[in-house]
Amino acid sequence: MVGEDVVEFPDDVSDDFKDFIIKILNVNPTKRIGNLRNGPWDIKRHPLFKHVPWGLLLARRVKPPYIPKISGDCDTTNFNTREVELKESARDKYREVFSIFPGDGNDG
Protein backbone atom coordinates (compact mmCIF):
# COMPACT_ATOMS: atom_id res chain seq x y z
CA MET A 1 0.00 0.00 0.00
CA VAL A 2 2.77 2.45 0.82
CA GLY A 3 4.29 3.81 -2.35
CA GLU A 4 1.29 2.87 -4.44
CA ASP A 5 -0.48 5.52 -6.49
CA VAL A 6 -3.99 4.28 -5.69
CA VAL A 7 -5.39 2.97 -2.43
CA GLU A 8 -8.65 1.04 -2.51
CA PHE A 9 -10.82 0.86 0.59
CA PRO A 10 -13.86 -1.27 1.35
CA ASP A 11 -17.17 0.55 0.84
CA ASP A 12 -18.00 0.57 4.55
CA VAL A 13 -14.86 2.53 5.55
CA SER A 14 -15.55 6.12 6.63
CA ASP A 15 -14.17 9.12 4.75
CA ASP A 16 -12.33 10.24 7.91
CA PHE A 17 -10.61 6.85 8.15
CA LYS A 18 -9.63 6.91 4.46
CA ASP A 19 -8.28 10.45 4.79
CA PHE A 20 -6.20 9.58 7.87
CA ILE A 21 -4.74 6.39 6.37
CA ILE A 22 -3.76 8.19 3.17
CA LYS A 23 -2.13 11.00 5.17
CA ILE A 24 -0.26 8.75 7.62
CA LEU A 25 1.06 6.51 4.83
CA ASN A 26 2.26 9.37 2.65
CA VAL A 27 5.60 8.31 1.21
CA ASN A 28 6.89 11.88 1.37
CA PRO A 29 7.79 12.57 5.03
CA THR A 30 7.46 16.32 4.46
CA LYS A 31 3.74 15.81 3.72
CA ARG A 32 2.98 12.99 6.20
CA ILE A 33 0.52 13.79 8.99
CA GLY A 34 2.26 13.80 12.34
CA ASN A 35 5.45 15.01 10.69
CA LEU A 36 4.17 18.45 9.74
CA ARG A 37 4.47 21.80 11.55
CA ASN A 38 2.05 20.79 14.34
CA GLY A 39 3.59 17.35 14.84
CA PRO A 40 1.40 14.86 16.71
CA TRP A 41 -1.26 17.54 17.28
CA ASP A 42 -2.27 17.14 13.61
CA ILE A 43 -3.02 13.49 14.36
CA LYS A 44 -4.85 14.24 17.61
CA ARG A 45 -6.98 16.90 15.89
CA HIS A 46 -7.83 14.76 12.88
CA PRO A 47 -11.61 14.14 12.59
CA LEU A 48 -11.03 10.38 12.94
CA PHE A 49 -10.05 10.96 16.57
CA LYS A 50 -12.63 13.63 17.45
CA HIS A 51 -14.24 11.38 20.09
CA VAL A 52 -10.98 10.30 21.77
CA PRO A 53 -10.76 11.73 25.31
CA TRP A 54 -7.03 12.49 25.12
CA GLY A 55 -6.78 13.82 28.71
CA LEU A 56 -8.45 10.73 30.18
CA LEU A 57 -6.34 8.51 27.98
CA LEU A 58 -3.16 10.18 29.21
CA ALA A 59 -4.35 9.79 32.81
CA ARG A 60 -5.04 6.09 32.11
CA ARG A 61 -8.67 6.53 33.04
CA VAL A 62 -10.14 5.06 29.85
CA LYS A 63 -11.39 1.49 30.11
CA PRO A 64 -9.95 -0.56 27.22
CA PRO A 65 -12.53 -2.29 25.01
CA TYR A 66 -10.63 -5.58 25.30
CA ILE A 67 -8.06 -6.87 27.77
CA PRO A 68 -6.19 -9.93 26.47
CA LYS A 69 -5.56 -12.80 28.85
CA ILE A 70 -1.84 -13.35 29.39
CA SER A 71 0.11 -15.73 31.59
CA GLY A 72 3.02 -13.34 32.19
CA ASP A 73 5.15 -10.53 30.82
CA CYS A 74 6.66 -12.74 28.10
CA ASP A 75 3.37 -14.32 26.92
CA THR A 76 3.09 -13.95 23.15
CA THR A 77 0.07 -16.21 22.58
CA ASN A 78 -2.04 -13.23 21.46
CA PHE A 79 0.24 -12.56 18.49
CA ASN A 80 0.03 -14.25 15.12
CA THR A 81 2.92 -16.70 14.69
CA ARG A 82 2.73 -17.29 10.96
CA GLU A 83 5.68 -16.17 8.88
CA VAL A 84 5.06 -13.24 6.56
CA GLU A 85 7.05 -12.91 3.37
CA LEU A 86 8.13 -9.33 2.77
CA LYS A 87 8.48 -8.21 -0.81
CA GLU A 88 11.04 -5.69 -1.95
CA SER A 89 9.54 -2.51 -3.31
CA ALA A 90 9.94 -1.97 -7.03
CA ARG A 91 10.16 1.76 -6.32
CA ASP A 92 13.09 1.85 -3.90
CA LYS A 93 14.10 5.49 -4.34
CA TYR A 94 16.70 5.35 -1.58
CA ARG A 95 18.68 2.24 -2.56
CA GLU A 96 21.49 4.32 -4.04
CA VAL A 97 21.70 6.56 -0.95
CA PHE A 98 22.09 3.55 1.35
CA SER A 99 24.49 1.73 -0.94
CA ILE A 100 27.40 3.24 1.01
CA PHE A 101 26.61 0.87 3.88
CA PRO A 102 28.02 -2.67 3.81
CA GLY A 103 25.69 -5.59 3.05
CA ASP A 104 22.44 -5.70 1.16
CA GLY A 105 20.14 -4.94 4.07
CA ASN A 106 19.40 -8.61 4.61
CA ASP A 107 22.25 -9.22 7.03
CA GLY A 108 19.88 -9.54 10.02
* Burial call 20-45: b when 16+ CB within 10 Å, e when fewer: bbebbebeeeeeebbbbeeeeebbee
**Closest to 2 in 3D by CA, of 105, 83, 88:** 88
Digit-coded pLDDT (tens) for 64-107: 999 999 999 999 999 887 877 777 766 777 777 888 887 655 55
CB 3 within 8 A of CB 87: no
Cβ-based neighbours of 98, under 8 Å, separated by 6 or more = 105
Is the whole-model pTM more than 0.75?
Answer: no
Digit-coded pLDDT (tens) for 6-53: 788 999 999 999 999 999 999 999 999 999 999 999 999 999 999 999
Whether 61 has a pLDDT exceeding 80, the answer reads yes
- Per the model's pLDDT, the better-predicted residue between 56 and 105 turns out to be 56
